[in-house]
Amino acid sequence: MPGKSSAYNICSRKPPAAAHLLLHRPLSISTIYRRISQQLPCYPPSATPAKLLSPLISLLFLPQVLAKAATVSFFNPFRRAQAEAAQGAITVQVKWGRDRFNIPIPQPSITPLATLLATLSNQTGLPVNQLKLVHKGAVLKDTSLTVSAYGITEGANLVLIGKGGDIPAPASSAPKQAAPVAKKPKQPETDSEPVLVDWIKSLVSNLLDPLKPSIATFISYTSPHVTNRPAKIPAFEVLQKEHARLSELLLKALLELDGVNIQGGWDVARKERKEGVRSVQGELNRVDEAWGERKRIGA
């Protein structure tokens, strides 16, 4: 324009948009910084100090803005996906007598066992202090530990039992005659570990030996893999009741072993009890697997 200096005419050009500089092709932060600084608008000598300083202030904050944008774009999605994987929801199946509950647990890494027990209390109508959970043959005692701390993962099978060893029957089920239960053998008061080890062995035998014939017969009726299948198979309802009876007695056996008091440092006795729990849990798994095969066939 006439009367204007050439410098002012050059500076009066409209600078290209910052979005064009950022999106045209990938650039380093230093390159973006330099290009934007070259495109800063110039002002005539009459411009106020505030107007002259505003582009410099923008340049000072530009690296911080770009760094924050990079964090939002790259790091946060990764962290969010990582957190979702670590806290991903799982569903566990809880066996309660003849019933099965599929319980969703949204965040097992931060959900304590007490929360799961409270949910099961609402499902069964029984007080929390009368419930115990068994996972892989071990009774889960510390309710302050998280679900993940017990190694419970997606699809895990847990067993719900009563505190005193009784399996509570669902309210909707018909009353049935309780199976006779042998008197609980009293643990000897001894300061000798070998004495306690022998007693634990005797306890396991007393718990399992009377049940082994019934378990073998039940599996011969229900498992498709046996070679000595009887010619006459009982009705579905009869087998269902037998499965419930055997499961109840085996779960009570697990509680008997869990109630054995072992002094600190008695590793041999503790190992013997662990072996007993493994044996009882193995029989329970055999019964459940055979019954699962029978249920697939249907009534």
Give SS3 for 108.
Answer: coil
Q: Is residue 208 part of a domain?
A: yes
Among 86, 104, 121, which residue terminates a domain? 86
271 to each of 151, 169, 197, 297, how far by Cα in Å? 21, 33, 9, 40
185 and 290 assigned to the same domain: yes
108 and 65 assigned to the same domain: no
| pLDDT at 200 (0 to 100) | 92
169 and 187 assigned to the same domain: no
Q: Is residue 57 part of a domain?
A: yes
221 and 295 assigned to the same domain: yes
pLDDT, one tens digit for every residue, the chain (299 residues): 454 444 444 444 444 444 444 445 555 666 655 665 555 555 555 555 555 445 555 555 555 655 555 444 444 555 555 554 445 788 888 887 777 888 888 888 888 888 888 888 777 777 888 788 888 777 788 888 888 888 898 888 888 876 544 444 433 333 333 344 445 567 888 889 999 999 999 999 988 999 999 999 999 888 877 777 777 888 888 888 899 899 888 988 888 888 888 888 999 999 999 999 999 999 999 999 888 888 887 65
118 to each of 101, 128, 138, 185, how far by Cα in Å? 14, 6, 20, 32
Q: Is residue 213 part of a domain?
A: yes
Q: Is residue 155 part of a domain?
A: yes
DSSP state of 150: G
Q: Is residue 1 part of a domain?
A: no
| pLDDT at 74 (0 to 100) | 45
Among 86, 118, 149, which residue terminates a domain? 86
**CATH classification at residue 209:** 1.20.58.120
Please answer whether residues 280 and 137 qualify as being in contact, where contact means their C-beta atoms are separated by less than 8 angstroms.
yes
| pLDDT at 30 (0 to 100) | 63
299 and 183 assigned to the same domain: yes
168 and 210 assigned to the same domain: no
Helix (H) or strand (E) holding 100: strand 99-105
**CATH classification at residue 114:** 3.10.20.90
CA angle 24, 29, 35 (to 5 degrees): 60
Helix (H) or strand (E) holding 239: helix 236-258
- Written as one string, the DSSP assignment of 3-62 is TS-HHHHHHTSPPPPHHHHHHSS---HHHHHHHHHHTPPP--TT--HHHHHHHHHHHHHH
27 and 132 assigned to the same domain: no
Pairwise CA distance, residues 246 & 288, whole Å: 10
186 and 199 assigned to the same domain: yes
Q: Which residue has the tokens 């009377």?
A: 210
Domain that holds residue 29: 6-86
Please answer whether residues 8 and 41 qualify as being in contact, where contact means their C-beta atoms are separated by less than 8 angstroms.
no
* Domain count of the fold of the chain: 3
Nearest to 22 by CA among 7, 33, 37: 33
226 and 119 assigned to the same domain: no
Pairwise CA distance, residues 121 & 119, whole Å: 5
Among 57, 86, 115, which residue terminates a domain? 86
Which runs of E-coded beta strand occur in 106-193? Answer: 131-135, 138-140, 157-162
45 and 139 assigned to the same domain: no
78 and 92 assigned to the same domain: no
Please answer whether residues 246 and 223 qualify as being in contact, where contact means their C-beta atoms are separated by less than 8 angstroms.
no
Question: Which phi and psi angles does 138 have, rounded to 5°?
Answer: -115, 135
pTM over 0.85: no
195 and 291 assigned to the same domain: yes
Q: Is residue 103 part of a domain?
A: yes
